Chain A
Amino acid sequence: MKQPILQVRDLKQHFPVTSGMILQRQVGSIRAVDGISFDVYEGETLGIVGESGCGKSTAVRSISQLYKPTGGSVIFNGIELTTADPRTMLAARRDIQMIFQDPYASLNPRMTVRSIIAEPLVIYNRRNLLDPPLSKLEIEHRVEELMERVGLSKVFKNRYPHEFSGGQRQRIGIARALALNPKIILADEPVSALDVSIQSQILNLLSDLQKEFNLTYIFIAHDLAVIQHISTRVAVMYLGKIVEISEAVNLYDNPLHPYTTALLSAAPIPDPVVERNRQRIILTGDVPSPDKERFGCYFYDRCPKRMPWCSNHIPPMFKRGKNHEVACWLYDETRDYHDVSMEEAKADAAKASK
């Protein structure tokens, strides 16, 4: 049995909402990530999909401890990151790198490409965390090697980010993320801002690098076709929760959660013949705001298959077959909730909360 490289348990990231000019009082919280759990195995790609604001970016930021999680645990290579001391954390952070969506915003405009890529090496070298330590010249060689590996000519070393196109800037970000030989890369929408013809170049590069260095990826995108292409397994998020997680193949062939089904049916397919004959599930309403506590299914407001029971009972993850889990009451094999009236559901919820 393969050991997970990363274990996330009931991870929560709530942001305080404050009001008042001088005395800031907390008046509520945004439940950006509201209790998510999953494992990631070495060498695989876990894709995360979901709509804007569902907590994808926040999830990877709290996994990498860029944010201090409100609750839950993140175990990387056997180390609990949420309580690790700064030095352990620094060592672990070396193995966990991030790539961001916006190659324009994520690179320091005043640094040359060389300094951008070398920066992590320089920092870890200075703190004696590299074994063996690197000389100036060795760092220079490493930068050149990384540039060539991601498809940038080393003659551009002394240029600045604004002199590069979007795709080239994303390559710079990838080279920087690779500098310390990480084990896992958290990629937050790395191709969303790129042209179609450049997207496929970067996706291919990421696959090649994964094979070459046995990298593990968590890959966020809202493009379902991109996620399907790159992922071994896929987690679907909605309003801070994972609603379905499965092997990629199963998820696309046999989506279970009504939200996943709607999402797949809404995603356009680049083929007019297919599109002409497609039936869409058009959801009504917008994704609700994550600033209030919910006592029922988070998808209740927009769900085409909702039952009264769902309005006041949060569904747990139900296992359906190997490696396929779904958070939806329709898949509780012990009970059918269709006949439960709103009154009965309310009474049951009231009893349970006592």
Chain B
Amino acid sequence: MSPVNDREVVLDVRNLQTYFKTDAGIVKAVDGVSFTLHKGQTLGIVGESGSGKSVTNLSIMRLIPSPPGKVVGGEAIFEGTDILALEEKEMRTIRGNKISMIFQDPMTSLNPFLRISTQMIETIRLHTKGISKNEALERSIEMLKLVGIPSAKKRVHAYPHQFSGGMRQRVMIAMALSCNAEILIADEPTTALDVTIQAQILDLIKNLSEKMGTSVILITHDLGVVAGMCDEVCVMYAGRIVEKAETEKLYAFPAHPYTEGLIKSVPRMDTSKKGERLYSIEGQPPNVIDLPPCCPFHPRCPKAMDVCRASYAPITDLGEGHEVACWLYNSEEEKAVALKEAQA
């Protein structure tokens, strides 16, 4: 198979900005995020809580509650059109159909009062023209079998609360996949689940993406999950992508001090020594309200310089798609110019 990055681009997100108006001030939840998703690729998005992972993807799905939220800038090109500019009516033919999403919390996205069968049939009929109720039911059972729900034929008529958390999450995945989407956005699909169930579900997503050529955006904070699943990774911090690289490159040569710290902070089952002190990034993640226009990581960065406190770092291409937003990779002249501009 050709390297992922040579394949057709299915989604091109450019300079996405999504802000929330709150009593305390403007929350720049996503502030200039750009990435491309290729056919059959699994792209990981990692970052701390509140760094903007969910908002990025909810913006693409056009599901930002407004007010208080608003996509204030950028575009997302899918099949030649900017879906951020579509009318809601047109968006409905894409959402859940060509782009589907598995939400962070499976219970909130299943209706507790409706049988699984009713919900699945409705979803399938909404997205497949001319399909009969019976055909849709057959299709639902097939999908449930595919995601490993035992005695699917009987259990398809159960209510959500009669399923365990892991089973509900699999129902969500079955529903997301039942429409053969081009893009599957999975927001922390396994965070609430046990490792053995997590392994089952990740295995499933991987198989389906390989078999059907689905492109996947996988949001997680688990660096282990990323390592096993993703071709490429975006690391987010305070609403921005601070580093982006092929997975193996990112782990072997992390360029941003935040990425480096993150990778060093996680204990490893295979190599860590008992009693060894863990590396830790000091300080707290920033409050994203009224952030000053400079590197958001500088208060915690062991390598911070004057310019980091004064100005955002531009994105530097380190080659082969490895990009980083950090002043360490800029020349002295560039830093001097930026510093002078900021002071002016």
Partner-B contacts on A (CB < 8 A): 51-52, 165-168, 195-201, 203-204, 207, 222, 224-226, 228-229, 231, 248-249, 252, 262-276, 278, 280, 282-287
Contact = CB atoms under 8 A, between A and B. Distances in A.
Given A286-B166, A286-B167, A195 B221 contact: yes
A99 to B, nearest CB: 18
A203 B274 CA distance: 12
A287 B266 CA distance: 27
B195 A271 contact: no
Nearest to A284: B148
A272 B227 contact: yes
B274 A266 contact: no
Contacts of A165: 284-285
Interface string B181-199: 0000000000001111111
B195 A224 contact: yes
A116 to B, nearest CB: 19
Chain B, interface size: which category? 35 or more
Contacts of B164: 286-287
Given A52-B194, A266-B198, A229 B284 contact: no
A229 B221 contact: no
Contact of B274 (A248, A265, A286): A248
Contact of B269 (A201, A267, A283): A267
Nearest to A205: B280
Given A270-B223, A272-B227, A280-B199, 12 more contacts: A195-B48, A196-B223, A200-B266, A207-B275, A222-B195, A249-B274, A264-B269, A268-B224, A268-B227, A276-B228, A278-B228, A284-B200
B268 A269 contact: yes
Given A52-B165, A252-B269, A271-B251, A263 B195 contact: yes
Nearest to A275: B228
A229 B167 contact: no
A44 to B, nearest CB: 12
Nearest to B46: A196
Interface of B: 48-49, 148, 150, 164-167, 193-200, 203, 221-228, 247-248, 251-252, 261-263, 265-270, 272, 274-282, 284-285
A269 B224 CA distance: 5
A275 B265 contact: no
Interface majority SS (helix, strand, loop, mixed), chain A: helix
26 contacts: A51-B197, A52-B165, A165-B284, A195-B49, A197-B48, A198-B48, A198-B285, A200-B278, A204-B278, A224-B195, A225-B224, A229-B274, A269-B224, A269-B270, A270-B226, A270-B251, A270-B268, A272-B228, A272-B248, A272-B251, A273-B248, A273-B252, A274-B270, A282-B199, A284-B148, A286-B197
A171 to B, nearest CB: 11
Contact of B281 (A197, A248, A268, A275): A197
B48 A272 contact: no
A215 B131 CA distance: 65
B285 A51 contact: no
Contacts of A203: 267, 278
Contact of B272 (A52, A204, A228): A228
The 8 A-B residue pairs with the shortest CB-CB distance, nearest first, are A268-B224, A51-B194, A229-B267, A266-B199, A275-B228, A270-B223, A200-B280, A200-B278
Contacts of B282: 201
Contact of B196 (A248, A270, A283): A283
A55 to B, nearest CB: 14
B269 A225 contact: yes
A292 B222 CA distance: 35
Contacts of B150: 285
Contact of A225 (B268, B280, B281): B268
Contacts of A207: 275, 277
Question: Which of A248, A265, A271 counts the most B-chain CB atoms under 10 A from its CB?
Answer: A271
Contacts of A285: 150
Contacts of B251: 270-273
B221 A196 contact: yes
Given A196-B221, A196-B262, A271 B267 contact: no
B266 A225 contact: yes
Contacts of B196: 51, 262-263, 266, 282-283
Nearest to B203: A282
A91 B58 CA distance: 53
Contacts of A195: 48-49, 221, 285
Nearest to B261: A197
Nearest to A166: B49
B173 to A, nearest CB: 15
Contacts of B247: 272
Contacts of A268: 195, 198, 222, 224-225, 227-228
Contacts of A231: 274
Given A195-B49, A200-B280, A282 B200 contact: yes
B22 to A, nearest CB: 15
A226 B223 contact: no
A210 B142 CA distance: 53
Contacts of A222: 194-195
B203 A204 contact: no
Nearest to A264: B269
A51 B193 CA distance: 9
A197 B248 contact: no
B262 A197 contact: yes
Contacts of B198: 266, 268
Nearest to A286: B164
A272 B268 CA distance: 13
Nearest to A287: B194
Nearest to B202: A268
Contacts of B278: 200, 203-204, 229
Nearest to A267: B195
